[in-house]
């Protein structure tokens, strides 16, 4: 956006200089020409002024801050749309001349403990005022904390604020996270949900940074930092700085807990605990809330001087009045009478107004009590907050909720910031937690019985599929998907798997076929194969002699099949060709016949050939018998 320095906005605000420029707007130092005072004017960038959502959020910022009156919150004075010059949506605020807390951190590094507490006190005081009205800032960070030249601390930029007084600028459904990632609470990162405890978390991170001089997490990208806030614990202060009191370390640890329920519920609770620590550190210190101005004494009216009484003067001489003088006195008397009657009427009207005003304030609608925000807390916590106001807490509904834990409050009627008659009731809707139903145990039931069991919960029976199964008898349920015992949402489809029993497979006959072939094919068909070996005079070696069950029968898939494989004939003959064979060749041939061979060497011939064999050639011998060959 181009620099608008020198422009007159709305015929009233003369822009002197640009002091800041952000992604959404620019801020100018300006003169209010009507009241002759300096102000800060925030002007939305022109390209965003065409977007209704951005304009709406910009206007809500004005309403958010205007709803708050606190010495530590930047006051909003005006808001509008410039029509007389450059088109611009603008917001007018008090001008704070000074620096941000970020600049102090950059210059000083970590703070002394007492200084850090003195800075935190007004910050928490301002947030406590906002939380009391049901307003959540949602973007607490050092850049939004201003320190004036006079030393007064101011919280700025309620552009992300949310509450009953201003509506909502960010919803869980939109899943848009607008705050600075280093100060975002885990629930803002995960669900886009924020309440007063999210501000407490951010204030705790700011306190951590003031006391240590560094942020708790650092990484190369914002998404990594966000992930660390969700999944890792904030380091303890005393691990970084040994002189931090244990009580202060515990308070900052609780305020930055990942679980919102473990944090102080509001900035007011945080402030109360911090002030107690401050008193413990220095009991002699005059505990004055730095977040408040000193009270101004009312102006007393000056006492009226008593009118001196004048003694009556005795008239001794006769008074002669003319007709003209008498008429003038009568007219004067009539005017006085009219003035008395008018004054009486005014007094009557004032009395009525005062009476109605007193009734409004003490008895009528004006006496209504502002309801604090209790969403996210337990019923007991809500009672402890609501009862001191003279109100009753009544649970009117228990409702399932996917985000709010069981036993926590989802909603109050009226909601935080709303009003209710004195002595009235605040209706509470309490979470039953996520709506979940356990899948019943159906294994071993009939399909009909399984469907009845499933339909007892608000679940839907899905597909029923039959498959072979070796463990569950035919016609009974094997399992469900999702599995039994699983917790699922309402109307989840539950698919049922029913057994067709053990699969039957027809066996082929492998008699006379290769034993290797039988082993491979039967194993692939899903059978467990037991193979035995035996001599056989008629079946060739390594061919199947027998099988059980026999070929052509049906057998259970996965069942056992036994086969007997031939080792060949039990007897063999010593061949004639062994004589004169080279020694090694003769030995190998005899061994191939299933015989054991002993070699006896004679003579000195280099080439050893068989000279003799025992038993002699053509002798019938059992396989495994010993044959001796003499070579030389």
Among 1, 5, 37, 2, CA closest to 18: 5
What's the pLDDT at 384? 83
DSSP string of 340-357, one letter each residue? HHHHHHHHHHHHHHHHHH
Q: How far is CA 71 from the centre of its chain?
A: 33
- pLDDT tier for residue 248 given thresholds of 50, 70 and 90: very high
- pLDDT tier for residue 60 given thresholds of 50, 70 and 90: confident
Q: Are 412 and 379 in contact (CB under 8 A)?
A: no
For the domain covering 437-499, report its CATH number. 3.30.10.20
Q: What contacts 116, CB < 8 A, 6 or more positions away? A: 207, 210, 211
Core vs surface per residue 498-512: b (16+ CB within 10 A) or e? bbeebbebebeebee
Give the span between the Cα atoms of 265 and 376, in whole angstroms: 9
**pLDDT at position 289 over 50:** no
- Tokens for 337, please give them: 């009478």
For the domain covering 504-566, report its CATH number. 3.30.10.20
Query: The sheet that has 425-431: what strands, in order across it?
Result: 392-399, 425-431, 409-413
Higher pLDDT, 562 or 149: 562
**pLDDT at position 223 over 90:** no
Fold assignment, 571-631: Trypsin Inhibitor V; Chain A (3.30.10)
Choose which CATH entry (3.30.70.260, 1.10.510.10, 3.40.50.620, 1.10.760.10) describes domain 99-281: 1.10.510.10
Radius of gyration of the chain from its Cα atoms, rounded to whole angstroms: 49
Q: Are 128 and 112 in contact (CB under 8 A)?
A: no
Q: How far is CA 94 from the centre of its chain?
A: 36
- pLDDT tier for residue 301 given thresholds of 50, 70 and 90: very low
Give the span between the Cα atoms of 527 and 519, in whole angstroms: 10
Query: Domain spans of the chain?
Result: 8-94, 99-281, 369-431, 437-499, 504-566, 571-631
Averaged over 535-562, what is the pLDDT?
A: 89
Q: Which residues are bridge partners to 505 per DSSP?
A: 555
What's the pLDDT at 318? 39
Give the span between the Cα atoms of 314 and 193, in whole angstroms: 89
Averaged over 29-39, what is the pLDDT?
A: 93
Q: Are 532 and 563 in contact (CB under 8 A)?
A: yes
Q: Report the share of the chain in percent with pLDDT over 70.
A: 82
Where is mean pLDDT largest: 82-86, 350-354, 462-466? 462-466
Give tens-digit pLDDT for 443-473. 999 999 999 999 999 999 999 999 999 889 9
Give the span between the Cα atoms of 291 and 284, in whole angstroms: 20
Q: For the chain, how are helix, strand and coil distributed in percent, rounded to 5? A: 30, 25, 45
- With tokens 């950059």, the residue in question is 106
**pLDDT at position 209 over 70:** yes
- pLDDT tier for residue 295 given thresholds of 50, 70 and 90: very low
Q: How far is CA 19 from CA 15, 16, 43, 159, in A?
A: 11, 9, 12, 18
Using the 8-state DSSP alphabet, how is residue 471 labeled?
A: S
Q: How far is CA 73 from CA 19, 115, 396, 571, 615, in A?
A: 19, 20, 37, 112, 120
**Lowest-confidence segment of 228-242, 288-302, 395-409, 543-557 by average pLDDT:** 288-302
**pLDDT at position 166 over 60:** no
**pLDDT at position 496 over 90:** yes
- pLDDT tier for residue 358 given thresholds of 50, 70 and 90: low
User: CATH classification of 8-94 is 3.30.200.20, yes or no?
Assistant: yes
Same topology between domain 8-94 and domain 571-631: no
- pLDDT tier for residue 330 given thresholds of 50, 70 and 90: low
Where is mean pLDDT largest: 232-236, 296-300, 605-609? 232-236
What's the pLDDT at 346? 59
Q: Which residues are bridge partners to 461 per DSSP?
A: 494
Averaged over 349-378, what is the pLDDT?
A: 61
- Please provide the average confidence, as pLDDT, over all residues in the chain: 82
Q: Are 428 and 457 in contact (CB under 8 A)?
A: no
**pLDDT at position 79 over 80:** yes
Core vs surface per residue 546-578: b (16+ CB within 10 A) or e? bbeeeeeeebbeebebebbbbbbbeebebeeeb
- pLDDT tier for residue 1 given thresholds of 50, 70 and 90: low
Give the span between the Cα atoms of 349 and 9, in whole angstroms: 42
- pLDDT tier for residue 348 given thresholds of 50, 70 and 90: low
Q: From the DSSP assignment, how many helices (H) and strands (E) are in the chain?
A: 13, 29
What's the pLDDT at 626? 94
**pLDDT at position 230 over 90:** no
Q: Which residues are bridge partners to 44 per DSSP?
A: 25
Q: Report the share of the chain in percent with pLDDT over 90.
A: 42
**Lowest-confidence segment of 46-55, 217-226, 479-488, 567-576 by average pLDDT:** 46-55
**Sign, Cα dihedral of 217, 220, 226, 230:** negative
In degrees rounded to 5, what are phi and psi of residue 525? -75, 0
User: CATH classification of 369-431 is 3.30.10.20, yes or no?
Assistant: yes
Q: Is 139 a catalytic residue?
A: yes
What's the pLDDT at 376? 79
CA atoms within 13 A on the CB side of 259: 4
139, 195, 269, 401: the catalytic one is: 139
Averaged over 108-117, what is the pLDDT?
A: 92
What's the pLDDT at 167? 36
Higher pLDDT, 310 or 270: 270
Listed in order, strand segments (DSSP E) in 218-272 are none
Direct distance between the N- and C-terminal alpha carbons of the chain, in angstroms, rounded to an integer: 113
Averaged over 339-355, what is the pLDDT?
A: 60
- pLDDT tier for residue 349 given thresholds of 50, 70 and 90: low
Where is mean pLDDT largest: 286-290, 318-322, 467-471? 467-471
What's the pLDDT at 290? 44
- pLDDT tier for residue 319 given thresholds of 50, 70 and 90: very low
What's the pLDDT at 389? 81
Q: Hey, is 292 helix, strand or coil?
A: coil
Q: Which residues are bridge partners to 80 per DSSP?
A: 90
Q: Which long-range contacts (CB under 8 A, 24 or more apart) does 403-406 make?
A: 403/172, 403/191, 403/193, 404/376, 404/431, 404/433, 405/261, 405/431, 405/433, 406/431, 406/432, 406/433
């Amino acid at each position: 956006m181009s620099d608008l320095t020198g422009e007159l906005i709305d015929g009233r605000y003369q822009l002197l200089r640009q002091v800041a420029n952000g992604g959404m707007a620019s801020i100018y130092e300006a003169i209010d020409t009507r009241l002759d005072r300096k102000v800060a004017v925030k002007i939305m960038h022109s390209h965003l002024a065409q977007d209704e959502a951005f304009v709406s959020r910009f206007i809500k910022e004005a309403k958010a801050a205007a709803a708050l009156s606190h010495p530590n919150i930047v006051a909003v004075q005006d808001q509008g749309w410039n029509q007389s010059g450059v088109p611009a949506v603008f917001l007018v605020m008090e001008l704070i001349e000074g620096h941000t807390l970020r600049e102090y951190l950059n210059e000083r590094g970590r703070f002394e403990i007492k200084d850090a507490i003195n800075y935190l006190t007004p910050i928490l005081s301002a947030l406590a005022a906002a939380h009391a009205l049901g307003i959540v800032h949602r973007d607490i960070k050092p850049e939004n904390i201003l320190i004036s030249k006079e030393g007064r601390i101011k919280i700025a930029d309620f552009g992300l604020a949310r509450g009953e007084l201003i509506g909502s600028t960010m919803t869980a459904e939109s899943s848009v996270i607008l705050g600075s990632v280093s100060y975002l609470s885990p629930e803002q990162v995960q669900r886009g949900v924020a309440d007063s405890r999210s501000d407490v978390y951010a204030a705790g991170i700011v306190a951590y940074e003031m006391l240590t001089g560094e942020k708790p997490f650092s990484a190369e990208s914002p998404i990594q930092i966000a992930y660390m806030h969700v999944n890792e614990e904030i380091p303890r202060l005393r691990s970084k700085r040994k002189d931090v009191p244990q009580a202060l370390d515990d308070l900052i640890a609780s305020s930055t807990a990942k679980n919102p329920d473990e944090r102080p519920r509001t900035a007011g609770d945080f402030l109360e605990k911090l002030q107690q620590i401050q008193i413990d550190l220095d009991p002699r210190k005059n505990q004055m809330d730095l977040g408040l101005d000193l009270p101004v004494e009312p102006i007393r009216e000056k006492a009226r001087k008593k009118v001196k009484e004048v003694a009556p003067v005795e008239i001794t001489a006769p008074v002669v009045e003319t007709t003209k003088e008498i008429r003038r006195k009568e007219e004067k008397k009539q005017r006085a009478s009219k003035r008395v009657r008018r004054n009486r009427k005014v007094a009557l009207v004032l009395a009525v107004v005062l009476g109605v005003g007193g009734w409004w304030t003490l008895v009528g609608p004006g006496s209504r009590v502002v309801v604090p925000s209790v969403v996210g807390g337990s019923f007991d916590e809500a009672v402890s907050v609501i009862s001191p106001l003279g109100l009753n807490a009544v649970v009117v509904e228990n409702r399932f909720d996917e985000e709010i834990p069981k036993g926590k409050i989802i909603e109050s009627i009226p909601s935080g910031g709303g009003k209710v008659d004195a002595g009235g009731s605040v209706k509470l809707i309490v979470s039953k937690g996520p709506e979940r139903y356990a899948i019943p145990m159906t294994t071993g039931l009939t399909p009909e019985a399984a469907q009845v069991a499933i339909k007892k919960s608000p679940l839907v029976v899905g597909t029923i599929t039959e498959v072979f199964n070796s463990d569950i008898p035919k016609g009974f349920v094997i399992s469900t998907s999702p599995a039994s015992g699983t917790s699922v949402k309402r109307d989840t489809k539950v698919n049922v798997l029913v057994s067709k029993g053990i699969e039957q497979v027809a066996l082929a006959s492998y008699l006379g076929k290769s034993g290797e072939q039988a082993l491979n094919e039967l194993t692939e068909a899903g059978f467990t194969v037991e193979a035995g070996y035996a001599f056989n005079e008629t079946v060739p070696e390594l061919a199947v002699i027998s099988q059980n069950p026999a070929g052509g029968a049906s057998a259970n898939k996965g069942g056992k099949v036994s086969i007997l494989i031939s080792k060949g004939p039990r007897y063999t003959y010593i061949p004639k060709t062994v004589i004169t064979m080279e020694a090694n060749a003769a030995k190998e041939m005899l061994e191939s016949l299933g015989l054991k061979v002993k070699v006896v060497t004679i003579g000195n011939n280099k080439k050893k050939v068989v000279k003799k064999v025992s038993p002699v050639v053509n002798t019938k011998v059992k396989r495994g018998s010993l044959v001796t060959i003499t070579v030389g």
